[in-house]
Structure 1
């Protein structure tokens, strides 16, 4: 009963805390503004108003979510954090660690939405997602207990396994365990998005299926959509050889859905359990941390690390400012032009731009490949690879905190 009395009191406290944080943030940034070496796209007053409004709206959203849970009898609340996905009508919880695994390893982009609740299949707790099957292995160490089912192997058991390659060409990554290779854009995606742990060994070569290049892995099937990368960036990749990719250039097939249907698994939606939150990235406080010494960016939901990416920040004379800021303006594409420090530049087609302080923004870059190398190449902005900038743009909102430090 004590917990039930305290929950409603927590709601106004959340809102008050958010308002105080916004005031402190604006006082902090006001003391540092303006910076003569970075030209902001809007006035400081407009930027501050956008951040304060966005943070207040997000605080109100979280408060309404907790208020919804607070009116439920405490004895009916789930024992572990549980979230409901209205998109497919199913829950994901941390009873077996599935929720945090989903959040920390690619989320919708890698696994899609849940198609079932947790249930026992072949003596093991499992849950089907659009592109994966999560399995609970309590016999393994704590950080390895969530494993992904071998959906690619299961699907090929229906279709037939391709013959292995006995004499691979040079310049490819060859796996003698399965007799298959990895190369090109599929190799880049495999290495970047989880490698062996998430996708397993390749089970086929790159093959054509219905006019699309695909490749099967133990736990996934990759599909190539070259048209997702705009022609401007395709030409830049061809001429420079840099790692230039869009987020959805390599997509994962819905093997989870296909296998669930083949096996007769019930994927009908269920009623939301009392006291559960409805999934949205904003139900956890989001923040971005940029390490200037490491040249890496980390994104968090609460205390959980959900994304990491290499960056390239401002070189000497154009140093990226240290401090605590927030995203105040976003553009999916922008041309940046300026003259500072005796230099002038005009760079077109800069993708996934998110301004955090003055004229300093997080954005994709295609004119160098120095991300994470320690070579600071920018005029103060935080450069990311295009696909990383695209992921971050979709995940973050106006008001998301950005902490830049050494």
Structure 2
């Protein structure tokens, strides 16, 4: 209640300093460039459900998905269900993310199921105990997080090894690098990750007359100019290699057109996904360009393929000659997806390359045979 009153007080103060046409029932999140309002009741659901903590900021506009109206947030998704008297429910982003990546989790041991310090859920077959149980109970339990669909496990998240547990609607995480005596539990950004995998439109929208707010929904007095939907980060300078065929400048492609094959490289997670339509059929860890040789971000396509070659070049005061590099697929300039035999630090967060996207040998061979010239490749943060 104190938090709610503080929020209302902030709104009143902001309104006093803003033009009269500003609407108090629409918020504009400056960091993500998205609106949140009550056209479908999502603003009220966000506020009443401790949305700043459990959902994070909106990252998409509301849109129709089958029979539902949905809106994606950093950590989850809100859904309007006409079949349930227009009830607003949390989307099952945890279960859907696990299914999309083909993850499977072993069942708990008999000792864990019978432990007095853990709760066993017959519906899913998994248990819940310290350190996640108290957080789960305190912040909404089944309504917010759903039931557990894994046991606690160690897993790389964006290159950082974390202690996690998956739930139907979320993933809870602990970063072991924190120095606090009590572990700090966070809610993973599965809403963001699932939206990217599905090609949801995450481009910023105009603020119009909504109240500008920060990540916690607190009003900001200055209304920013609407971000440009087409703004993209400029490609970083990368070294050139020598492909067998003459490089061709690729034309930018629209993101995720769902008409056929495409490749997505996620720099934050250091992971690659191969999709056919909306379905992920293959994924693999990668190692991308280190600082000073950053892999460019944007929409490209495979413009040349070389089954094996010697890669050589000079940039940033360094020169290299790497013989017999297998299964090179060039996407922009001298930047290629290719097999890598000289290290195995894929998916760990360690970026080893001079700009290329390093793949394990078997993964590169599979991708080379699967992806023809012209296959769209999206490289994103």
- With normalisation by structure 2, the TM-score equals 0.49
More strand by share: 2
More helix by share: 1
